[in-house]
Structure 1
Amino acid sequence: MKCTEIEINEMYLQESLPTDILLRWSKLLEYDFFRIYSQHLILYAPPSASIRESNASKLPRFRKNIYTQEMIDFILELIEKQEKTRRQITDDYGIPYTTLCKWIAKNNK
């Protein structure tokens, strides 16, 4: 990193870091710190605009959400620590209740 120990300690105390420094830390520690932010964007993204119905097909269109294992673990941890209820999670994050129940059932095995 080409900096002193004091400068590194100051980085830990900062509220935010420039992306070039965060990239260097990611490479040095072999950990993708950017994943935390990209998952946050996915989790809190507003619902996408509705897709116009095509006259060519009357079949319904399904949009499969992509939930990473880290996101699932985070949600299950909120429930386990009783920080949020199932209803709060479905309301706050837009996760279908049945999907949440499947995650919980799978986690309890």
Structure 2
Amino acid sequence: MLYKVIHIGQSIKELVDQKEITIERICNFLNKDEEFVNNVYESKSIDTDILLRWSKLLEYDFFRLYSSHLILYAPPSAVNKPQTKSDKAPQFRKNIYTQEIKDFILKKITSGEMTQADVIKEYSIPKSTLHRWLQKTQQ
């Protein structure tokens, strides 16, 4: 899966087709009509409450697509940025790389599309972390 461009409606449609879930079941679960469901399939983005319901129905974390995008494509934050006490949002100490992210990065290296140095520079992945991933795949 390419995380750079996310079309959530297509992703939902693909999973519905893969799991062979009927439109009646979807409409009953979401408490919406068939036209609404078809509009979701065509939408590039949807409301988070609706996305949460789709995630429950299809037993898949669609929010992870967006998290993966942030890990791969968000610019790195300032290293010595002072933290203010007025920050109410939780602060995370490090990125959590999903298996899909690891596979995506390792595929780029093994296919020769990118070098290790390119990956470190482009995605801000620590050299030691990348080295550990490579060692685990060689075992």
Q: Smaller-chain TM-score range?
A: 0.5 to 0.7
2:114 aligned residue = 84
The one-letter code of the counterpart of 1:104 is L
CA change 1:65–1:30 in 2 (3 A) is: closer
Rounded to whole Å, the distance in 2 between the matches of 1:66 and 1:48 is 18
CA change 1:66–1:16 in 2 (3 A) is: closer
2:101 is equivalent to residue 71 of structure 1: yes
CA change 1:65–1:20 in 2 (3 A) is: closer
Structure 2 gaps of 5+ residues are 1-29, 83-92
Decide which of 24, 42, 55 is 1:26's aligned counterpart.
55
Rounded to whole Å, the distance in 1 between the matches of 2:40 and 2:81 is 44
2:18 aligned residue = none
CA change 1:2–1:64 in 2 (3 A) is: closer
2:46 is equivalent to residue 17 of structure 1: yes
Deviation at 1:65, TM superposition (A): 4.9
Rounded to whole Å, the distance in 1 between the matches of 2:79 and 2:127 is 22
- Computed over aligned residues only, the root mean square deviation of the Cα atoms, in angstroms, reads 2.7
TM-score where L is the length of structure 1: 0.67
Structure 1 gaps of 5+ residues are 53-62
Structure with bigger gyration radius: 1
Deviations 1:4-37 (A, max 9, x none): 4454233222211111211110111121111221
Q: Which has the higher contact order (CA 8 A, sep 6+)?
A: 2
Rounded to whole Å, the distance in 1 between the matches of 2:70 and 2:137 is 24
Percentage identity across aligned positions?
51
TM-score where L is the length of structure 2: 0.55
Q: How many residues align?
A: 99
